[in-house]
């Protein structure tokens, strides 16, 4: 589903209430995925609420830095785990628990280490700050067999190019769920942005297939 949809909404928000609203908004707009980072106050409770309220939503725990936190995320209903770096104990926990995991990495050496550790995807973070889609393309060339997720710096201006460069999916935060729109519960704006990003992913994949 992550590969099919191509977008992982990264919910890194300083309010539990806004985090729930953000996840619900993108879900209703057609993105049934939400990564709730552990920096959200009461993040595990947010995961539990979303997993109960929306059984078809693929909820994950983000910025998971140790096995204990990973365990709490799974108990709350998380279906994938991710982190901003390569955390060996989380990799091992995920493998033993048979749960999807992808670490954040940056260099070619880290890409190999993440893949060799048994990660399902490898997240390039922060991608936008080190060359954007051109950097991801440079990584994809020697590693065509590794599914890369672009995260950090993915915007409306860059999303299309990241997919064309070889990203299997995009991690998107405030560009998809602007804080000012969450503050005033402007759900229609988040719906509009969600549909816009989905259309970009679709168009980029059609171009890769030679659709135009």
Residues noted as catalytic: 35, 123
Cα 124 from Cα 104, distance rounded (Å): 6
- Look up tokens 């709730």; give the residue: 36
Task: Label residue 60 exposed, middle or buried (CB < 10 Å: 0-12, 13-18, 19+).
Answer: buried
Neighbour tally for 30: CB within 10 Å: 12
Q: Which of 5, 9, 54, 50 is nearest to 190 (CA)?
A: 9
Pull the structure tokens for residue 198: 């989905």
Report the chain's terminal Cα–Cα distance, integer Å: 25
- What residue spans of 58-157 are helical by DSSP H? 67-76, 88-97, 108-116, 132-140
Pull the structure tokens for residue 169: 């999916």
β-strand partners of 62: 37
Cα 155 from Cα 204, distance rounded (Å): 14
């Amino acid at each position: 589903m992550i590969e099919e949809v191509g977008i992982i909404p990264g919910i890194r928000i300083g309010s539990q209430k806004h985090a729930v609203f953000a996840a619900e908004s993108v879900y209703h707009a057609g993105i049934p995925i939400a990564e709730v980072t552990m920096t959200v106050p009461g993040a595990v409770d947010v995961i539990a609420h979303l997993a109960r309220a929306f059984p078809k939503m693929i909820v994950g725990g983000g910025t998971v830095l140790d096995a204990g936190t990973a365990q709490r995320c799974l108990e709350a209903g998380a279906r994938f785990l991710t982190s901003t770096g390569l955390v060996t104990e989380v990799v091992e926990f995920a493998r033993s628990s048979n749960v999807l995991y992808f670490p954040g990495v940056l260099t070619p050496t880290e890409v190999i280490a993440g893949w060799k550790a048994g990660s399902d995807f490898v997240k390039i973070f922060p991608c936008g700050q080190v060359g954007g889609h051109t950097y991801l393309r440079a990584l994809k060339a020697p590693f065509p067999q590794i599914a890369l997720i672009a995260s950090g710096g993915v915007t409306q201006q860059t999303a299309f190019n990241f997919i064309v460069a070889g990203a299997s999916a995009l991690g998107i935060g405030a560009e998809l769920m602007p804080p000012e729109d969450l503050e005033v519960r402007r759900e229609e704006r988040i719906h509009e942005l969600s549909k816009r990003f989905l259309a970009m992913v679709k168009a980029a994949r059609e171009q890769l297939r030679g659709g135009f």
